[in-house]
Amino acid sequence: MEKKIIIFTRDDATSKNTERILRKKLDNTGYLVTSSYCPDADLLVCIGGDGTFLEAIHKFDFPSMPIIGINTGHLGFFQEIMPAKMDDFIFNFSNNKYSLQPLSTVKIQINTKSGETYEHIGLNEVIIKNSNARTVHLNMSIGGSFIERYSGDGILVATPAGSTAYNYSLGGSIVDPRLNLLQVTPMAPMNTTAYRSFTSSVLLPSELSLDLIPDMYEESALSIIYDGFRKTYDNARSLTVSFSDIKVNLLRFEGYDFWTKVKSKFL
């Protein structure tokens, strides 16, 4: 049966030219190539940077098929292949010389005062902030036990895959994606005689959830940001952040090593 490959490309000249070359190579190899989503496709190829990769998985609602990235961006942490290595990629994929790396996702559930419930999924992280850039006050519980009344710019909850993204910029730890945990990182926490907030990241095992109840003096909306996508809720009663059952399967080839990539990108 002819294998189907979806190509999702960033709208810039370099990425479009890379797509044109890749399409020709895949056509010559006998693959059926499309830009439209097909649930039975064998592979999703994202051409661009990490932002393109995240845009693709959200647009296609976290597809279960394997995903590979060709890096025409800057950092390219998710992007496995450089454009000059497309022939190697096609050869290894055609000969099943690859493995799958499942990446965990994080889920945030928002319960509103009117009784409605909303959910959002992030591969990198979810962020809870005050929508008007004021200090956010959140009563925080972990696994059902009250921890503190947090005050600061916001809270970021990162997956291991997202530990090298915004979480790292905030001073959070780099986490090997083979570990099943969530990292709760404060954003400009207040730690004075009036406000006591934790000032370093907290690591949670996969079975525990983070529960948050807004505690605002004034009527204020919350911004929920997941992988750069933003939603605003002006009547949030409570929020729960936890591991999601959804996995993203990255295609990895022989020789890939997470810590070698960390060294090449950050050190």
Question: What integer pLDDT is reported at residue 183 of this predicted model?
Answer: 98
Is 164 annotated to bind a ligand? Reply is yes
Q: Which of 1-5, 35-39, 58-62, 86-90 has the lowest mean pLDDT?
A: 1-5
pLDDT for 197-230, tens place per residue?
889 999 999 999 999 999 876 667 999 999 999 9
Q: Identify the residue with better confidence: 256 or 70.
A: 70
Is 112 annotated to bind a ligand? Reply is no
Is 37 annotated to bind a ligand? Reply is no
Looking only at the bridges linking them, the beta strands covering 181-189 and 202-205 are antiparallel
Residue 50: active-site member: yes
Catalytic one among 50, 87, 211, 215? 50
First CA to last CA distance, the chain: 44
Task: Catalogue all structural domains in the chain, each as residue range(s) with its CATH number.
Answer: 4-96 (3.40.50.10330), 105-246 (2.60.200.30)
Share of the chain above pLDDT 70, in %: 98
Angle at 106 between CA 105 and CA 108, to 5 degrees: 145
Is 51 annotated to bind a ligand? Reply is yes
pLDDT for 180-195, tens place per residue?
999 999 999 998 877 7
Is 17 annotated to bind a ligand? Reply is no
Structure tokens at 12: 């810039």
* Alpha-carbon dihedral angle through residues 15, 66, 243, 125, given to the nearest 10 degrees: -10
Is a pLDDT exceeding 70 seen at residue 176? yes
Is 245 annotated to bind a ligand? Reply is no
**Backbone torsions φ then ψ of 48, nearest 5 degrees:** 155, -140
Tell me the C-alpha distance between 140 and 146, whole Å: 6
Is 161 annotated to bind a ligand? Reply is yes
Question: What integer pLDDT is reported at residue 189 of this predicted model?
Answer: 93
Q: How many CB atoms lie within 10 A of CB 162?
A: 29
Is a pLDDT exceeding 90 seen at residue 22? yes
pLDDT for 89-120, tens place per residue?
999 999 999 999 999 999 999 999 999 999 99
